[in-house]
Structure 1
Amino acid sequence: MSDTKDTPEKGKTLGLRGGGTETSHVRQSFSHGRTKSVTVERKRKRVVVPKSGAGGAGGTGGAVGRNLSDTERERRLRAVQAARAQEADRAEQMKAEEKAREEEMIRLRAEKEQAEREEREREIARQRKQDEEREKEAAAKAAATAPKAKAAKVEEAVDPAAAQAAASRVEAGKGPAKSTKTDKPQDDRNKQPKGGKAGDDRRRSGKLTITQATGEGGRQRSMAAMKRRQEREKRKMQGSNEPREKIIREVKIPEAIMVSELANRMAERVAAVVKALMQSGIMVTQNQSIDADTAELIVEEFGHKSVRVSDADVEQALQTPDDAPEDLQPRAPVITIMGHVDHGKTSLLDAIRKTNVVSGEAGGITQHIGAYQITTDGGAKLTFLDTPGHAAFTSMRARGAQVTDIVILVVAADDSVMPQTIEAIHHAKAAEVPIIVAINKIDKPGADPNKVRTELLQHEIVVEKMSGDVLDVEVSALSGTGIDTLLENIALQSELLELKANPDRPAEGAVIEAQLDVGRGPVATVLVQNGTLKRGDIFVVGEQWGKVRALINDQGERVEEAGPSVPVEVLGLNGTPEAGDVLNVVQEEAKAREIASYRAQAAKDKRAAAGAATTLDQLLAQKKASESTTELPIVVKADVQGSAEAIVQAMEKVGNEEVRVRVLHSGVGAITESDVTLAEASGAPIIGFNVRANAPARESANQKSVEIRYYSIIYDLVDDIRAAASGLLSAEIKETFIGYASIKEVFKVSGVGKVAGCVVTEGVARRSAGVRLLRDNVVIHEGKLKTLKRFKDEVAQVQGGQECGMAFENYEDIREGDVIEIFETEEIERTL
């Protein structure tokens, strides 16, 4: 089908101006050649043109019509916008009215709830008043009814559910309360069956639900609150209605205290203390700390008395009152044997003890402080301390003098007074203890006891044979000569001192030696000075603490206690103490921990302060010294604390301004893998004194090529370290002048450069020697000869008075009249 459009027939149409219809004919084609003509009308848009006041032409009238329609459109648009603005204002007004109505409803609901709450509280108060009246009536009844009332109270305390139900009934009041619209579901849920009893409700309720636990009015009373209420009711029944008197406590406040600890010291609830702090504007929890000022305010607020203390006051627990004279009992004297090395101190002690300790000491010298107690033939007990005499053990001798009552100064009759003898005299005088001089080795050829007495006069030691007051005895440790006389003098001296102590008090003592035993842990040799140390005692020693696990005497036997002047080994420490620390027994383990922790922190702060208190000049001096000084680092492990301390002190004395020994780490016990790691990182050898490396440490040392050296005699250790440090010293260069030559003429030779024609004026000139070029006695150049010729031949040396030719290596600024100085150098190894 095809459409064909004919030419429109224009004719007159009816309609308004600018309106009407347009007609056109369309011819439709169908199949089989059939066609049909169809008339189509298209209506025009009717445009209403208002009448114009001025009659214009038709063309201008159409333009005016278009302008008026745009104006109309703008007017209508403004009208629509105005209508929308009015609609928005009405919507805002309605919203504000709705919000006001909601606020009014909320206010009314709150007032209603407040009124109901007040009504409920009045009902509860009335119910409580009735309960109190009933309780007063019950208290006034006969004594026969009293046990029944008590049994009912006990049953209420045993059955929490019954107490809870009773509390719910009291809060809810008697009879159903008028419920609001919002409370209706809650009331329906908690409403009891009609005519039901409390026991039936408890039986039907089954397990405790959240609703029952919380109750209608919020949280239920806790068991503690119910117990307090029962106590109040019990006091009322017994006739004591006055409130319990508040206990005012004296609360100690340190510089910082935890909130929970403050509550415990006041015996107040932690929640109450936290609440008081929050009301003061301090938001803290029970595990946070507060300062002393804040804690003092809280203590005063709770009505207690505050006592300010410092951290150092923790050691006040160690202070004990002085002993009464009637409590003091005689004790054994403590005798320290001192003197120069190899003067026979330990041999003399062996003769007194009738044992052989020297054979057990490496090299025949004492490495440790030995403590022993013996009983004389007369029954008197004596405690002996044997100190080392080597120069490295100065601090050990000082400790021995501090804890002693009598010093036996051993001087060999053949060697007389030696350096360590003088040092021992100074220690004894500083400790203000009496001295007994034992002149040993009198049976040795060349012995001269009078020489010893005479030399002692130089150090203000005047013996009895020199009209002095110092006892002196000639003895022989090998033959036993004079031993009895020495013991008699010791007994006489101890009687004059009138040594006494109180054994019935907490023990006090001094650590003579400390070590780390592989099987037994930290072990301390303690000399008890006062009181009695018992197994199970809790003690503090230096920065360590512990509980006495075992006590071992000098014979290796376990004992249950040790009294005054008794040396024992103490097991049960948590760490190795320092030799010389004081041991104090305390009552509580917590107090021992607190004191040890305070001491450790104080020592740490002291070390930190010492490290921080350096000025810029000191830092620059240290840097300059480290740049100019070569260090030999070492790691030291020893069997006991005293030996480690002695080795460190000896190492500090090895070296000079060019080389020094630096001890990276010193400790007690076997060499471990961590020691090997430290030594590898620092390139240091490990020094083991009477200790060995364990298997992992040995394997690690082999893998990392770390040298481990073992020693049992301190002489050998110090000598080897000194030799190793000497190897770090730069060799000393010694110059020897062998001749002088004067330059007579300078030649320029092709391929060689400038050559000086010289005359050897003094000594000899050698080709291998060093030379200096002097010009007006000022050194211009120093170096070596490139060539030394005699006529045309290269020679090794030229004798004095002969002519030769010389050329310098890498230097040609030579002039006639210069002087050549010829010298040889020699390297000489230095030692410390």
Structure 2
Amino acid sequence: MSSGAPRGQGQAVRLSRGASLSDFADRINANPGSLVQEMFNLGEMVTATQSCSDETLLLLGEHLGFDVQIVSPEDEDRALLAQFNIDLDAEIDADRLVTRPPVVTVMGHVDHGKTKLLDAIRKTNMVAGEAGGITQHIGAYQVRVPHDGSERALTFIDTPGHEAFTAMRARGAQVTDIVVLVVAADDGVMPQTIEALNHAKAADVPIVVAVNKVDKPEANPDKVRQQLTEYGLVAEEYGGETMFVNVAAKPGIGIDELLEAILLTADASLELTAPIDGPAQGVAVEAHLDKGRGAVATVLVQKGTLRAGDSIVAGGAHGRVRAMLDENGNQVAEAGPARPVMVLGLTAVPSAGDTFLAAADDRTVRQIAEQRQARRRAASFANSRGRATLETLMEQIKEGEKTSLNLILKGDVSGSVEALEDALFKLDIPEEVQLKILDRGVGAITESNVMLASASAEAATIIGFNVRASNKVREIADREGVEIRYYTVIYQAIEEIDAALKGLLKPEYEEVELGSAEIRDVFRSSKIGNISGCIVRSGVIRRNAKARLLRDGAVVADNLTISSLKRFKDDATEVREGFECGLTLGNYNNVQVGDIIETFEMREKTRA
């Protein structure tokens, strides 16, 4: 071999996602330059410090005889936390466990009354503040219910119902103990009902079905029960195990029965315990940037107790808990298992679904957050860059001809931004158009967003989802020629971006036949060449239309134009089927009696 890279005998090498050749070289005690040379020999150009994709690392490992294992983000995170003596999976002594409230996720099809049902349970009005009456972010609330002579707590997570929020809804199912599946009695089982049901089954959690809107005259609760038997949910009254409760959220019918069913299901199917002592661990259910308070995260504590003043890390964000608020905005001093609280004091906005944990001091949480951020950056660089091979170098140069739609996404909460990005990448994007998300973030549109948009090779469009730009930022955007679009409902944003992507495509044309004519006679003219005397056999013959000449069924000449067209001695713009005409085919004179002239035009195809 030409380079001095060592050869492995099948030894295992563990590498994190987005690792560089320098990281690989450290693991096998090699010179990074020798690995760069090896990659060049394999037909790929990679620098020593560049983040590599999984495929590149596996290819090099196989070439050198090493068994490269790409460490999953979860394993990587465990290894990172182990450095700080934090073990998330440590077994808990039974004497430390206490009973905790069940966490209930409300799921179902859009507009089947999920938020109205929660309103009835919490006696508050959430829907009024939602655009188009659609829940756009996850909320978490705790309610207290009298049960068997004592008061029991229930934690509710309200997940959005539109399919674009599938990623968020899946996360809702991961932290939940019981799913309440809301089905409208007048509408029946719909696509998102099945989708929500699949999430609940994947999370392996018991389901309680709330058959809503039973007060409507067209309501048919029995039909809902029959439909759901096809999906494995058999009502207790039919001999099954699933509790079905008829409710009507607006008038408040059946709410107590539903809460009773949730508690009975929890007691029958689940043993809900968690340690109340020790550092807090849990999940960031939602997060947003508040103008006055900074990053605000809604967290659900799963183990331990979270107290004001604790140092916490959530994903790549860290900070000290400055204050904790309950769902009504009241300050709370501590939060135990299954308690949702809003936390103030984080340095950045975590993503919906990030795990959070409290640590001993600020230094520990900062180091964990910084290492997570560095790892995510490396992994995203590797994914965005792709593999640069010698063979594809020319293709990459050609790709400069591709049209791309560059976007910067800004939203009021991280879950919405994430769901919008997820939905955009699921669009059916044609090969000749690229969709690039240059940046995404939470909070108002800033000057730096505008400058990034204007600095990109093809000017980017900024999408503001439930956020606006200040007058100063708008002035800069106008000066730099950057377009800012605002949306409050996710489907509208997706539809318009989809239309924009299709609009970036070069138009496609298809040939549409206009008509055909048979040459009956040919007249010679010294001035204008041969004139064809024709009868129009089908359609219409138009002046200046494109034409081709057929002789015995074969094309003799293509790319011709009907340059003059006459009926008797008068000029005509078109001659219809059954009529006679005289015409000339530009400068083409090789015409014979019996030839067929076909005329056609190129029309732009509408894209599906």
Query: Is 1:577 paired with 2:350?
Result: yes
Report matched runs for 1:521-670 at 5 Å.
521-611=294-384, 614=387, 616=389, 619=392, 623=396, 630-657=403-430, 661-670=435-444
Secondary structure in 2 matching 1:524: strand
SS class of match (1:719): helix
Q: Deviations over 1:43-99 (max 9, x none)?
A: xxxxxxxxxxxxxxxxxxxxxxxxxxxxxxxxxxxxxxxxxxxxxxxxxxxxxxxxx
Is the alpha carbon distance of 1:464 and 1:635 closer, same or farther for their aligned partners in structure 2, counting shifts above 3 Å? same
SS state of the match for residue 478, structure 1? coil
- Extract unaligned runs of 5+ from structure 1: 1-254, 258-308
Equivalent-residue separation in structure 2 for 1:620 and 1:458 (angstroms): 53
Q: Report whether the alignment pairs 1:370 with 2:139.
A: yes
The superposition leaves residues 400-420 of structure 1 with CA deviations (integer Å, 9 ceiling, x where unpaired) of 100011100000111111111
Secondary structure of 2:248's partner?
A: coil
Change (3 A) 1:312 1:611: farther
The alpha carbon displacement at 1:796 in A equals: 2.8
1:413-432 equivalences under 5 Å are 413-432=185-204
Distance 2:298 2:461 in 1: 30
Between 1:729-738 and 1:639-648, the stretch displaced more is: 729-738
Of Structure 1 and Structure 2, the greater strand share is in 2
Q: 1:579 is aligned with what amino acid?
A: A
Letter in 1 for 2:450: V
- The one-letter code of the counterpart of 1:501 is A
- The answer for the alignment partner of 1:807 in structure 2 is 584
Which of the residues 163, 174, 180 maps onto 1:391? 163
Decide which of 671, 674, 680 is 2:448's aligned counterpart: 674
CA offsets per residue over residues 270-312 of structure 1, 9 Å max, x none? xxxxxxxxxxxxxxxxxxxxxxxxxxxxxxxxxxxxxxx9867
Partner in structure 2 of residue 342 of structure 1? 111
Where do residues 666-705 of structure 1 align in structure 2 (5 Å cutoff)?
666-681=440-455, 682-705=458-481
Is the partner of 1:377 in helix, strand or coil?
A: strand
Alignment-mate amino acid for residue 480 of structure 1: G
Distance 1:468 1:735 in 2: 61
Q: Please report how far the alpha carbon of residue 598 of structure 1 lies from its aligned counterpart in structure 2 after TM superposition.
A: 2.4
Whether the aligned pair in 1 keeps the contact of 2:429 and 2:501 (CA below 8 Å) is no
Which moved further from structure 2: 659-668 or 571-580?
659-668
Write the letter of the residue equivalent to 1:453: R
Q: 1:746 deviation in Å? A: 4.3
Q: Which residue of 2 aligns with 1:314?
A: 83
**Partner of residue 821, structure 1:** 598
1:819: how far off? 1.6
Distance 2:246 2:88 in 1: 44
Secondary structure (helix, strand or coil) at the match of 1:398 reads helix
Give 1:435's aligned amino acid: I
**Structure 2 matches for 1:349-368, cutoff 5 A?**
349-368=118-137
Give unpaired runs (5+ residues) of structure 2.
1-23, 27-77
Aligned mate of 2:566, from 781, 785, 789: 789
Larger Rg: 1
Q: Is the 2:453–2:462 contact (alpha carbons within 8 Å) kept by the matching residues of 1?
A: yes
Matched-pair contact (CA < 8 Å) for 1:655–1:661: no
Distance of 1:626 and 1:376 partners within structure 2? 61
Q: Which amino acid aligns with 1:345?
A: K
1:469 to 241, 245, 254: 241
Change beyond 3 A, Cα 1:311–1:366: closer
Asked whether the 8 Å contact 2:544–2:563 carries over to 1, the reply is no
Counterparts of 2:438 and 2:180 in 1: how far apart (Å)? 37
User: 1:789 is paired with a residue of what secondary structure?
Assistant: strand
Cα offsets for 1:431-488 (capped at 9, x unmatched):
1110000000011121111111111122211221221101110100011111111111
In structure 2, what is the equivalent of residue 412 of structure 1?
Answer: 184
The CA distance in 1 between the partners of 2:526 and 2:441, in whole Å, is 71
User: What residue is the counterpart of 1:760 in the other structure?
Assistant: 536
- Whole-angstrom CA distance in 1 between matches of 2:401 and 2:176: 45
C-alpha displacement of 1:324:
1.4
For residues 475-533 of structure 1, what are the alpha-carbon distances to aligned partners after superposition, in whole Å with 9 as ceiling and x for unaligned?
00011111111111111122231211111111101010111222222221100001000
SS of aligned partner of 2:562: strand
C-alpha contact 2:324 2:333 (8 A) present in aligned 1: yes
Deviates more, 1:594-603 or 1:528-537: 594-603
In the alignment, which residue of structure 2 is the partner of 1:326? 95
Distance in 2 of aligned mates of 1:604 and 1:498? 40
The aligned residue for residue 30 of structure 2 is none
Deviations 1:212-270 (CA, angstroms, capped at 9, x unpaired): xxxxxxxxxxxxxxxxxxxxxxxxxxxxxxxxxxxxxxxxxxx999xxxxxxxxxxxxx
Q: What amino acid is aligned across from residue 358 of structure 2 in structure 1?
A: V
Assess, with a 3 A threshold, how the Cα gap between structure 1 residues 680 and 778 changes in structure 2: closer, same or farther. Answer: farther
Tell me which of 214, 221, 227 is aligned to 1:442.
214
* Partner SS, residue 606 of structure 1: helix
Letter in 1 for 2:571: E
Q: Please, which moves more after superposition, 694-703 or 723-732?
A: 723-732
Q: Which amino acid aligns with 1:787?
A: S
Q: Does 1:742 align with 2:518?
A: yes
CA contact (8 A) 1:740 1:821 kept: yes
Shift of 1:702: 2.6
TM-score under structure 2 length normalisation? 0.80
- Show the counterpart of 2:7: none
Aligned with 1:510 (options 283, 290, 315): 283
| Aligned residue among 693, 716, 736 for 2:492 | 716
CA apart distance, 1:674: 1.6
- Counterparts of 2:446 and 2:333 in 1: how far apart (Å)? 34
Please identify, of 528-537 and 757-766, the stretch whose mean Cα deviation from structure 2 is larger. Answer: 757-766
Does structure 1 conserve the Cα–Cα contact (< 8 Å) formed by 2:103 and 2:154? yes
User: How far did 1:703 drift?
Assistant: 2.1
In the TM superposition, residue 537 of structure 1 has moved relative to its aligned partner by 1.1
Q: Name the % identity.
A: 50
1:487 pairs, out of 259, 262, 269, with 259
Structure 2 match to 1:216: none
- Alpha-carbon distance, 1:759 to partner: 3.6
Contact 1:515 1:641 in 2 (8 A): yes
CA positional deviation for 1:764: 4.0
**Equivalent position SS for 2:86:** helix
Q: Across the two proteins, how many residue pairs are aligned to each other?
A: 527
Cα RMSD of the aligned pairs, angstroms, is 3.0
Q: CA deviation at 1:767?
A: 2.1
CA contact (8 A) 2:96 2:275 kept: yes
SS at match of 2:146: coil
How far off is 1:605 after superposition?
3.0
- Output the CA distance in 1 between the equivalents of 2:80 and 2:251: 58
Secondary structure at the aligned position of 1:380 is classed as strand
The structure with the largest helix share of the pair is 1
Deviation larger for 711-720 or 618-627: 618-627
CA contact (8 A) 1:314 1:595 kept: no
CA distance 1:424–1:804, shift in 2 (3 Å): same
| TM-score, normalised relative to structure 1 | 0.59
Deviations 1:317-352 (A, max 9, x none): 344742211121111111010011100000000101
